[in-house]
Amino acid sequence: MKVTLSLDRSYAEDLSIMVDALRASTTINTALQSFKSVITAKNVADAVKLAEINQATLAGERDGAKIEGFDVGNSPLEIKNLKGEVLVLTTTNGTRVLESMQSKVLIGSFVNAQAVAQRALQLADNHIEIVMAGVKGRFVIEDFLGAGEIITHLKDEKLDEFAIASLMASNNKEEVDRAVRNSNSAEGLRALGLEKDIEFCLKRDIYDTVPIYKEGIIKAFK
């Protein structure tokens, strides 16, 4: 099985795993513990419309901050306390990247790394692409390290050089946590009073859930 790592957009036609470590991947995994589905929206207007149609809880952020008028932000800890049928989610990076992906799409990060890697091996024919969401097209270290956490469970496969680098960078948990906590994204979340979200996103394998995305809807793979 070939495993490749890319940034911001997907090139695979087989199977992809989207990683937005701070925070969309964790938020989606958390939401699927108490919601039956998550519907993604590219912009605020679409999110509001979808929430009305589906009588859904409305969640989202722009540049980390909760969108005015929404029920919650893109916070796994806020969403952890909610439940319902449908959550509509729009984020600056993760949901935008999902809409550009054409292959079978799973969603992973630190919180479900082992489960999503194992499911990817079952579902892929010959190629697993891990896609770092980044921030507005720019590389961010937390997605690189979150991808590496998933790749630790794929290390016996044929890795491209970018995937090998991510794997090597993820070997030391304490250094990984320090790098994520000191990242630009984490600094922005702390400025918004969301430091607890950072710590929650760094938890390892707390979920066996594997979110699968298709045509704007995310459900837990059965």
For the chain, the structural domain boundaries read 2-20+95-208, 26-92
Residue 43's H or E segment, with its range, is none
Q: Which pLDDT belongs to residue 100?
A: 85
Instruction: Choose among 15, 53, 29, 31: nearest CA to 146.
Output: 29
What are the start-end ranges of the H helices in 101-192? Answer: 113-123, 141-151, 161-169, 173-181, 184-191
pLDDT tens string 93-136: 999 899 889 899 999 999 999 999 999 999 999 999 999 999 99
Q: What CATH number belongs to 2-20+95-208?
A: 3.90.1560.10
Kindly give the parts of the chain with pLDDT less than 70: none
